Amino acid sequence: MPEYIIDVERLSYSYPRKSNVLIDVSFKVKKGEVLGIIGPNGAGKSTLCKALNGLVPHFYGGKFAGKVIVAGMNTLEHSVAELATKVGLVFQDPEEQLSGVTLTVYEEVAFGLSMLGFPKEEIDHRVREAIKKVGLEGLEWRSPFELSGGQTQRLAIATALALEPEVLVLDEPTAQLDPIGKFEVFSVIKKLADEGSTIVVVEHEIEELATFADNILMLNEGRVVAYGPARRVLTMVEELKKYEVNPPSVTELTYLLNKTLGTKLEVPITLEEAIKIYGEALGVM
């Protein structure tokens, strides 16, 4: 058993028509770890996600240098089909991920498994488990096209989970959702994280990410510009602002207060921490 589920070493990549999308990217993800990936649009975040399940370079072609090892498999030496059972990829637009050929939520989750030829009992067991994990019980016989945005995105996660992947890769899973949808999807991600799933998630909702990410990696123009424990990266306020990434509001506020007023408040990364820190500082616990 490898210690790391993901081991990316000095990965550089150019699409056939777009050069230097990733430059010398290295990081590792341990089993059970949640890695958040942040950075401006066009930084290479989605390309990196596609490199984790082999779509880059197998599907897109282009120039690939370095090494991506997922669940012990070098992505260059394994097909996307093989890698698909190890890496569950969920994209931004919930509707585009539906197979379009199934009539019910249950069938949609079962679809990948039946294509891979799993026995019927195993499929049934896994589908029920996956639907339970994302909280879609009771909607098994609903049409996938009659779901809300948040429900459709949870269905996409269930479809990925049914294959029991070693790692779940989520590329801006909440970007297209309304507040209820965002809440639903973040709740599922947090639950999966608590249960020990290994997760890589690209997000612009930094305040949410701060509540569950172990490590954070920031990309800018294809390069890693910050990488480490979530608290360390999110409190690098100047650095984040330089790349036009907003830290959590309470983090930025406290950093600016300390800087301009000379206060020595501990810098929070979540609302709960901020309430405690400000409550204590103002004597109203």
Partner 1 sequence: MPEPIIKVENVWFAYNEKVVALKGINMTVYPGELIALIGQNGGGKTTLAKHLNGLLKPQKGRVLIKGMDTRTTPTHEIVKIVGYVFQNPSHQLFASTVYEEVAYGPRNLGYEGEELEKRVKWALSMVGLEGLEDENPYDLDYGKMKLLTVASVISMDPEVFVLDEPTTGQDHKGRRILADLCLKLNEEGKTVIVITHDMRFVAEVAKRTILIANGRILLDGPTREVLTAIDVLRRAAIKPPQIASLSMVLKERGVDVNAITINEALEEFRKLFSAARR
- Which of 124/207 has CB closer to partner 1? 207
Instruction: Say if CB 218 and CB 226 are below 8 A apart.
Output: yes
**CA 279 → CA 215, 247, 248, distances in Å?**
28, 21, 18
**CA 109 → CA 67, 86, 141, distances in Å?**
32, 16, 11
Instruction: Say if CB 269 and CB 248 are below 8 A apart.
Output: yes
d(CA 251, CA 274): 8
Contact status: 51 vs partner 1 (CB under 8 A):
no
> In the set 65, 76, 116, 256, which binds partner 1 (CB under 8 A)?
256
Q: Which of residues 132-151 bind partner 1 (CB under 8 A)?
A: 148-149
Q: How many Cβ atoms are within 10 Å of 191's Cβ, its own excluded?
A: 14
What's the token pair of residue 224? 């890693």
Cis previous bond, 247, omega within 30:
no
What's the token pair of residue 153? 């995105």
- Which of 161/245 has CB closer to partner 1? 245
Contact status: 282 vs partner 1 (CB under 8 A):
yes
Using CA atoms in the order 80, 143, 126, 191, what is the torsion angle rounded to 10 degrees? Answer: 90
- Which of 4/183 has CB closer to partner 1? 183
Contact status: 101 vs partner 1 (CB under 8 A):
no
> In the set 10, 82, 275, 280, which binds partner 1 (CB under 8 A)?
275
Partners of residue 110 on adjacent β-strands? none
What's the token pair of residue 227? 């990488």
CB of 33 to partner 1, least distance (A): 24
# residues contacting partner 1 (CB under 8 A): 40
- Which of 57/181 has CB closer to partner 1? 181
Instruction: Say if CB 22 and CB 30 are below 8 A apart.
Output: no
Contact status: 15 vs partner 1 (CB under 8 A):
no
What's the token pair of residue 243? 């790349």
Contact status: 17 vs partner 1 (CB under 8 A):
no
Where are the strands (E) in 185-258, listed by range? 199-202, 215-220, 223-229
- Which of 80/253 has CB closer to partner 1? 253
- Which of 73/253 has CB closer to partner 1? 253
Site pattern 178..197 for partner 1 (x: CB under 8 A): xxxxxx--------------
- Contact range with partner 1 by CB under 8 A, out of 79-87, 170-178, 191-199, 228-236: 170-178
> In the set 57, 237, 248, 267, which binds partner 1 (CB under 8 A)?
248
Q: Which of residues 25-44 bind partner 1 (CB under 8 A)?
A: 39-42
CB of 70 to partner 1, least distance (A): 27
Task: Write the CB contacts of 29 (distance below 8 Å, at least 6 apart in sequence).
Answer: 4, 5, 6, 35, 167, 198, 200, 215
Contact status: 284 vs partner 1 (CB under 8 A):
yes
Partners of residue 216 on adjacent β-strands? 36, 228
Contact status: 274 vs partner 1 (CB under 8 A):
yes
> Where on the chain is the footprint of partner 1 (CB under 8 A)?
39-42, 92, 148-149, 175-183, 204, 207, 244-246, 248-250, 252-253, 256-257, 260-261, 263, 271, 274-275, 278-279, 281-284
